Structure 1
Amino acid sequence: MVTLSTTSQVPNSMATPAHPIKNPGQVVNQFTITEEAEATETLKLVQQEDISELKNALKDYDMTSISSDDLKKIGSQLYRKGLIDSRAFWLFMDGSRAVDAYGFPTDTHVKFNAIALFNETLEGYVDLFKSNPYVARQEGASDFMKGLVTANHALAALSYFATSSNNKLSVDERV
């Protein structure tokens, strides 16, 4: 009979530090939004109340310096309102991806640049799929990529709304 001590170190630790961000100062990328109409369309916001509510919820957040805890709150709100799908929601919930020895999220209070993290994650998977087409053809790969793109678009819209002072919906509907 073998007896294992429950107080010993975990032999196969799942501990992983936060995903390293190569360009932590990145604030602009191909997903950057500079107009309210584009931001409202990205999140499919049609009611003025929705925009005002979202802007109010985001007023204390900076997407270039945000914690995993805060991303979870924002992602949950967006998902409950149907503004992002489950694939993008997972990326918001995953945050910085730091986990302890048992696989549980850790350092969830530490702030990081979510714009850079989400964009670099997408670029990394694009490179992986280009260099290994077999991986790109695996079941779920295209859904995962769609989630990464959706999350980047949503984060860009959130960043716009978090820094915009205008609360009025102003979509140009000229025919």
Structure 2
Amino acid sequence: MAIVWTTEPLQQSKATAAFVIRNPNEVKNAFTINTELEAAETLKLDSQKEISRLKDFLRNYDMASISTDELRKVGRRLYDSGIIGGQAFGMFIGGDLANDEKGLPTNTHVKFNAIALFNERLESYDEFLKDNPTLATQDNLAWRQGMVAANQAISALSYFVNSSHNQLAIDERA
């Protein structure tokens, strides 16, 4: 019997299913923002003009029903504006994490609840780090902080999408 070596590497699939959202109707969580001032501060917006431009951009988006394609556009806008950093941008462009056997994103048009997705991904990552404390390295903790920033941003965006007026005001009577 002869053994024939091949030059073909073992084929491994890079396919991954979309992240399964346990609570797809979640629109409120620990990151929920309830005031326009808080949303503006979270996104580092300090002028009414910036807020109005962002609201105009977000007019056609719903953070509770958004596709990976749309989330990438929103993330790119935030990243290019300096509102979010690279790790948070990674959350936005990763979308629901569905990939084909070559590792390329699939079903990027399918809508999902990004509020719930981001929150559950952070919870899952926190559990992973808790179960594997030796992996709580500086890089992994930086990624976790990016996940927190993405959750804060998606919550602020959700507030702006759902708010009806374009005025940033501080109630001085309070």
**TM-score for the superposition, normalised by structure 2:** 0.91
Which amino acid is the alignment partner of residue 149 of structure 1? V
1:103-139 C-alpha deviation (Å, 9 max, x unpaired)? 0111000000100110001111111112221111x24
Q: Give me the whole-angstrom Cα distance separating, in 1, the residues matched to 2:103 and 2:6.
A: 26
Letter of the 2:75 partner, please give it. G
Specify whether residues 135 and 160 from structure 1 end up closer, same or farther in structure 2 by C-alpha distance, changes over 3 A only. Answer: same
| Residue number in structure 1 paired with 2:170 | 171
CA–CA distance in structure 1, aligned partners of residues 128 and 99 of structure 2? 23
Residue equivalent to 2:48: 48
SS class of match (1:156): helix
SS in 2 for 1:152: helix
Rounded Cα–Cα distance in structure 2 between residues aligned with 1:147 and 1:27: 20
- The Cα of 1:87 is off from its aligned counterpart by 0.9
Percent identity, please. Answer: 52
Q: How many angstroms does 1:151 deviate by?
A: 0.2
Name the counterpart of 2:101.
Answer: 101
The 5 Å alignment of 1:34-113 reads 34-113=34-113
TM-score by length of 1: 0.91
- Report SS of the residue matched to 2:169: coil
Amino acid at match of 2:148: V
Q: In structure 2, the residue corresponding to 1:140 is in which secondary structure?
A: helix
Task: Structure 1 unaligned segments of length 5 or more: list them.
Answer: 5-9
**1:67 to partner: Cα distance:** 0.1
Q: How many residues align?
A: 169
Classify the secondary structure of the residue corresponding to 1:25: coil
Q: Distance in 2 between matches of 1:154 and 1:30?
A: 13
CA change 1:173–1:77 in 2 (3 A) is: farther
Residue equivalent to 2:140: 141
